[in-house]
Chain A
Amino acid sequence: MNLTLKIWRQKNNADKGGFKEYKISDISKDMSFLEMLDVLNENLSEKGEDPVHFDHDCREGICGMCSLYIDGKPHGPQQTTTCQLHMRSFNDGDVITIEPWRAKPFPVMKDLVVDRSAFDRIIQAGGYVSVNTGGVPDANEIPIPKSIADLAMDAAQCIGCGACVAACKNASAMLFTSAKVSQLALLPQGQVERKIRAEKMVAQMDAEGFGACTNTGACEAECPKGISITNIARMNREYFSAVVSSDSL
Chain B
Amino acid sequence: MSWVSKTLSSTLGQKLLMALTGLFLILFLVVHLAGNLQLLFPDGGESFNKYAATMASNPFIRVVSIGNFAFILLHVIYSVILSRRNKQSRPVAYAVSKASTNSVWASRNMGILGTIILIFLIVHLKGFYYEIKFGSVPMTSYEGVEFKDVYAIVANAYGNILYVAFYVLSMGFLAFHLSHGFASAFQTLGLNHVKYSPLIKKVGLGFSILIPALFALIPLVMFFQN
Binding site for B on A (CB under 8 A): 6, 19, 69, 71-73, 97, 99, 102-105, 167, 169-172, 174, 202-203, 205-206, 209-218, 221-222, 229-230, 232-237, 239-240, 243, 248-249
Interface 1/0s, chain B 1-13, versus A by CB < 8 A?
0110011001111
Shortest beta-carbon contacts, A-B, top 7: A233-B192, A237-B190, A72-B98, A211-B89, A170-B86, A221-B102, A216-B103
Chain B residues whose CB sits within 8 angstroms of the CB of A213 once the complex forms: 11, 15, 188
Chain A residues whose CB sits within 8 angstroms of the CB of B98 once the complex forms: 71-73
Q: A19-B95, A104-B89, A104-B90 are in contact. Are A218 and B103 (CB under 8 A)?
A: yes
Chain B residues whose CB sits within 8 angstroms of the CB of A206 once the complex forms: 10-11
Q: A99-B96, A229-B192, A236-B189 are in contact. Are A215 and B102 (CB under 8 A)?
A: no
Q: Provide 25 A-B residue pairs closer than 8 Å at the C-beta atoms, listed in order of the A residue.
A: A69-B94, A71-B98, A72-B94, A72-B96, A72-B99, A72-B101, A73-B102, A97-B96, A102-B94, A104-B91, A170-B85, A203-B6, A203-B10, A206-B10, A211-B88, A211-B89, A212-B11, A212-B15, A212-B86, A217-B103, A221-B103, A229-B187, A233-B190, A233-B192, A239-B12
Q: B93: CB under 8 A from chain A?
A: yes
Name the one of B11, B92, B102 contacting A222, with C-beta atoms under 8 angstroms. Answer: B102
Q: B108: CB under 8 A from chain A?
A: yes
Name the one of A72, A104, A217, A239 contacting B97, with C-beta atoms under 8 angstroms. Answer: A72
Instruction: Determine the distance from Cα of A191 to Cα of B78 in the docked complex, in whole angstroms.
Output: 33
Q: A102-B93, A102-B94, A216-B104 are in contact. Are A169 and B86 (CB under 8 A)?
A: yes
Instruction: Determine the distance from Cα of A243 to Cα of B6 in the docked complex, in whole angstroms.
Output: 9
Chain A residues whose CB sits within 8 angstroms of the CB of B11 once the complex forms: 172, 174, 202, 205-206, 210-213
Chain A residues whose CB sits within 8 angstroms of the CB of B36 once the complex forms: none
Closest A residue by C-beta to B81? A212
Chain A residues whose CB sits within 8 angstroms of the CB of B189 once the complex forms: 236
Closest A residue by C-beta to B192? A233
Q: Is the CB of B89 within 8 A of A210?
A: yes
Name the one of A19, A169, A171, A234 contacting B99, with C-beta atoms under 8 angstroms. Answer: A169
Closest A residue by C-beta to B12? A239
